[in-house]
Amino acid sequence: MLKPVRRWFKWLGLLLLSALCCWVFHWGAIASEMRLYEIAQTPPTQLSTAATVEQGISAYQGGDFTGAIAIWQQVLSRINSDEDRAVVYANLALAYRQTGQLSEAIQTWEEAIALYRDRDEEDLEIAKLLAEQAQAYSDLGQHKRSIILLESALDILEEQPDPLTEAAIHGIFGNAYMALGNYDTAIASHEKSLAIARSSNSTRHIATALNNLGTAHLKQAERLYYQAEVADAEGDPQAKQLKQEEQENVARSRSLFEESITVAQQGKKLEEIRALLNLNRLLEKSFHQGLSENNGGEITSNQQRIEELLPLIPDSRQKAYATINLAESILDRADEKMLDRVVPLLEQALTIAQRIGDTKAQSFALGSLGKVYENNLKDFGRAMEYTQNALFVSQQVNAADSLYLWQWQSGRILKALNRPAAAISAYKHAIATLQSIRGDIISANKELQLDFREDVEPVYRQLIELLLTTPDTEAITSQGKAERTKSTLLAQNTSSSRLQEVVNTLESLKLAEVQNFFGDDCVQLALSRGNGTQESLASSNTAVIYSIVLGNQTTLVLQAPDGTQKKYTKTIDKDSIEEEITQLRFYLEERPAARYLPYAQAVYDWFIRPMEADLAAMKPNTLLFINDGVLRKIPMAALHDGEQFLIEKYPIAITPSINLTITRPLSRENLEALSLGLTVAKPPFAPLFNVKAEINAVQEILGGVKLIDEDFTQENLQTQLRAKSFPVVHLATHGKFGVDAQDTFLLGYDKPLTIEDIDNLLRTRRDREPVGLLTMSACQTAAGDNRSALGMAGVAVRAGVESALATLWFINDEATVPFIKEFYRQLLDPKLTKAEALRNAQLTMIADRNYSHPAIWSPFVLIGNWL
């Protein structure tokens, strides 16, 4: 038998870009290229096989990806050579990705990689396939998995260098880190990609790297903008520097996009389209944030250029998504005339997606049409028709990340059509879908969590609002006919089952919020440890108070120790509540003035006064607050009824979610502490003169080990935690809970300790008893941001401790020492819970004229296990 010549395939030089989400740009550059079957001096059967493979490549190049898949699947059974099967598998995977079948693409690349691993001389091919596979994982939101594969690919390239492959890998690295919110690393990776592309003089790679780098700087600017807004609201002098850095990143981003456009004009139409879309996105944001004048003319000109370019490129999923994104960008500025352009563009995108067999792109085109008819044309019948079609198509390919969008859209449309029961059902389906993909959605939306706020959180809140405002069948059936017309009464008589649905939905939202803040699977770990069940609440006689801040009303749900629930609704808009509570937080920190008092009384009257009688009747031992939104910024202990503070009535604790809370009494045997403190200045942080006395007091009362200043290092902390299981860890140091996990840290002598650092340190001792109490004094939450307090509440969850005692604002005062002394003295009493020990310490301070101002005692909040 004649041996075929081993030049069966040649490179075509196709640089295939990643799929992009319909709402967010994630463009990747992949190094692998399509191979073409070529056979010389082969038997007829082999020639037939080669010709068949060529037919598949022709179909692929013509945009018939479904046809290419069918051809290559058929021909695989006729190929005996592992090398050639690997190449066809690689081609097949590319076609799967072009049709949006990412899971199938990943598995098919795995087949190709397995075949190549048997051939040592094919390591470079493995590196390229790993890059392709990594990009697909990133498209699915699994960025950490992507990074692992990319590191393996780079290891191969150290032995077999290939500049363009390396450039592409660094680009994918950059996109993965950008999606994880690590913008500094993302920018560094994209700069490497750009440098390699320039040295290789590859126009396509240069244009792509410029685009990616510009996007990373724009994302960095968005984060800085938000940080600056928070700092400005707090009067933080750092706001000016943050704004300057933001503007520098915006200017750098614009320069990179414009250079990418110039480079791409050398015949790289798709890259030019991408750069124009990204530039328009920047121009829109700059205008809305007041960084530039009205640049509508430039945006319109760019849109027109994109419309000129689109017909000139072959059909592909990139073209389909670019068309959708163009329609979306026009829609953002749309008047009625512009709508005449939007609908045809989305119909074109749908036609392209159908032609190439990309079911997911079809779903986004249909869903976007539904959104136009819902929001802009107010034709809810047509909107529902398109949305249902989008939903059906997403179900066909099990595309949960788009499925939940259309289920949510269906809920909104059904509500507009005055079909509340059907709307509630649609919302429930959307949340169930979100929960099934919670991990992927969380990691995919780590970019400042803005996508979570816009694309995830509203699903829960809109369902809660529907449940609270829609009379349910059970409530209606149980009332007389005359009462059925009294909508106000019906709203008050929410059935117990409906109210439980509200609480369950709110709990699901809280879990999603915590997981989104930290961007990992900490919630799943905490859920496996948590036991905050109704039995625990009943046995400890604990009442739970849920707050729900909606647009035009705030509802509180009081859950008695026996599990019965009652709601209290205050009809006041969200903005008014936020203004009042922001003022209360500001004045609570102000000493020695008493300007906080009217605000503390007003908030008490809004949220606690309506349930006073019910609380008095049930006589709970503890109030456990699960606060929402702006309410997380204030200590509930400081609310005032006109005669006394709330803490004078009840012990108080907070938790981000009852399901994440471990409930068991703290053992008082061997209650030793590992105490760490920082007294010296670490610019911009001032010295903490009272920390040494505080640490000495803790050691005097509890014993244990103390590490102060130069002894307070990460290495020493790790050594101590490994050596002994301390029930209490006390950290007296500057701490900041910022707008996200990256902006949250505790200050050590050698370096800041991030939440991840603390988690890793405490993980070394998790085979022993968990830390019963983590105390963090001298910390502060960002008063200008609701989510920073969420981060503080979530730290106990993330670090795997049972309880945390932390401060909502920074206290550098000698009063901290007597407060901490009193708290730990109380904690030694086995008859007291942690919440009772904290209350007794706060009552002691209130009784002392020198320390009675709430600025001193109220910022200390107990998080998690209150027993």
The structure tokens listed for 615 are 């609380």
Q: What percent of the chain has pLDDT over 90?
A: 60
- Do 495 and 535 lie in a common domain? no
Looking at the fold, whether 501 and 372 belong to one and the same domain comes out as: yes
Domain containing residue 44: CATH number: 1.25.40.10
Residue 566, classed as helix, strand or coil, is strand
334 in the same domain as 297: no
**Pairing verdict, β 542-549 and 554-559:** antiparallel
Residue 450 Cα to chain centre, angstroms: 8
Q: Same domain, yes or no, for 537 and 399?
A: no
| CATH number of the domain residue 711 falls in | 3.40.50
Give the 3-state secondary structure of residue 402.
helix
Tokens linked to 343: 């609908």
Task: Determine the pLDDT at residue 231.
Answer: 82
Pair (536, 681) in one structural domain = no
Q: Are residues 694 and 791 in the same domain?
A: yes
pLDDT tens digits along 676-685: 999 999 988 8
The CB-side HSE value for 616 (13 A sphere, CA atoms) comes to 6
Exposed, middle or buried: residue 367 (CB in 10 Å: 0-12, 13-18, 19+)? buried
Answer whether residue 863 is part of any domain: no
> Domain check: are 289 and 209 in the same one?
yes
Cβ proximity of 13 and 146 under 8 Å: no
- Structural domain includes residue 760: yes
Q: How many structural domains compose the chain?
A: 5
Quote the pLDDT of residue 11. 26
User: How far apart are the C-alpha atoms of 467 and 557, rounded to whole Å?
Assistant: 13
Whether 845 maps to a domain, the answer reads no
Residue pLDDT, tens place only, 679-711: 999 988 899 999 999 999 999 999 999 999 999
Residue 50 CA to residue 47 CA, distance in Å, equals 5
307: containing domain: 202-314
pLDDT tens for 326-368 read 998 888 776 666 788 899 999 999 999 999 888 889 999 999 9
Is residue 844 in a domain? Answer: no
CB 57 within 8 A of CB 91: yes
- Dihedral angle computed from the Cα positions of residues 280, 281, 284 and 287, in that order, rounded to the nearest 10 degrees: -100
- Residue 631: predicted pLDDT: 94
Report helix, strand or coil for 314: coil
Query: Do 258 and 345 share a domain, yes or no?
Result: no
Which of 523, 554, 582 terminates a domain? The answer is 523
State the DSSP code for 441.
H
Of 46-50, 80-84, 518-522, highest mean pLDDT? 80-84
Residues 507 and 536 in one domain: no
**pLDDT of the residue at 764:** 66
Report d(CA 455, CA 624) in Å as an integer: 29
Is residue 486 predicted with pLDDT exceeding 50? no
For residue 848, give the H/E element and its range: none
Cα Rg of the chain (Å, integer): 30
Give residue-wise pLDDT tens across range 770-819.
789 999 998 888 776 777 777 676 677 777 788 999 999 988 778 899 99
220 and 155 share one domain: no
In angstroms, the CA 691 to CA 100 distance is: 57
In this structure, the answer to whether residues 367 and 459 fall within a common structural domain is yes
Smallest CA-to-CA distance from 503 within 453, 537, 452 is with 537
* 807: β partners: 860
Which backbone phi and psi does 294 adopt, to 5 degrees?
-60, 115
- Among 469, 498, 523, where does a domain finish? 523
User: How far, in Å, CA of 213 to CA of 190, rounded?
Assistant: 5
DSSP string, 201-269: T-HHHHHHHHHHHHHHHHHHHHHHHHHHHHHHHTT-THHHHHHHHHHHHHHHHHHHHHHHHHHHTTT-H
CA distances from 103 to 53, 108, 138, 365, 398 (A): 23, 9, 12, 21, 10
What pLDDT shows up at residue 835? 98
- For the segment 133-182, what is each residue's pLDDT rounded down to a tens digit? 999 998 887 888 999 999 999 999 998 999 999 999 999 999 999 988 88
| Pairing label, strands 745-747, 728-737 | antiparallel
According to the model, what pLDDT value does residue 99 have? 83
Output the pLDDT for position 794: 67
Look-up of token digits 């629930």: 565
Residue 754, strand partner residues: 745
Last residue of a domain, one of 279, 314, 349: 314
Read off the tokens for 218: 């724009």
Contact (Cβ atoms closer than 8 angstroms) between residue 558 and residue 566: yes
Shared domain for 601 and 476, answered yes or no, is: no
pTM more than 0.75: yes
Reported confidence tier of residue 14, pLDDT bands at 50, 70, 90: very low
The pLDDT score that the predictor gives to residue 424 is 97
Q: Which residues contact 565 (CB under 8 A, 6 or more apart)?
A: 496, 499, 500, 503, 557, 558, 559
CATH of residue 650's domain is 3.30.420
Vertex 68, ends 67 and 69: CA angle to 5°?
A: 90
Residue 861 domain-assigned?
A: no
Helix (H) or strand (E) holding 674: strand 673-677
Grouping H, G, I as helix, E, B as strand and the rest as coil, residue 444 is helix
Residues 407 and 393: beta-carbon distance below 8 Å:
no
Q: Would 803 be classed as within a structural domain?
A: yes
Q: What is residue 179's predicted lDDT score, i.e. its pLDDT? A: 86
Average pLDDT (637-645) is: 98
DSSP state of 636: G
Reply yes or no on whether the pLDDT at 450 is more than 90. no
Assigned domain for 825 exists = yes
Distance separating alpha carbons of residues 729 and 152, to the nearest angstrom: 39
| C-alpha of 547 from chain center | 22
Q: Is residue 298 part of a domain?
A: yes
Lowest mean pLDDT, pick from 332-346, 635-649, 724-738, 789-803: 789-803
Question: Both tokens of residue 563?
Answer: 């599990």
The strand ranges marked E within 690-758 are: 704-708, 728-737, 745-747, 752-754
Q: pLDDT tier at 413 (50, 70, 90 boundaries)? A: very high
CA–chain centroid gap for 453, Å, is 8
Tokens of 98: 């072009």
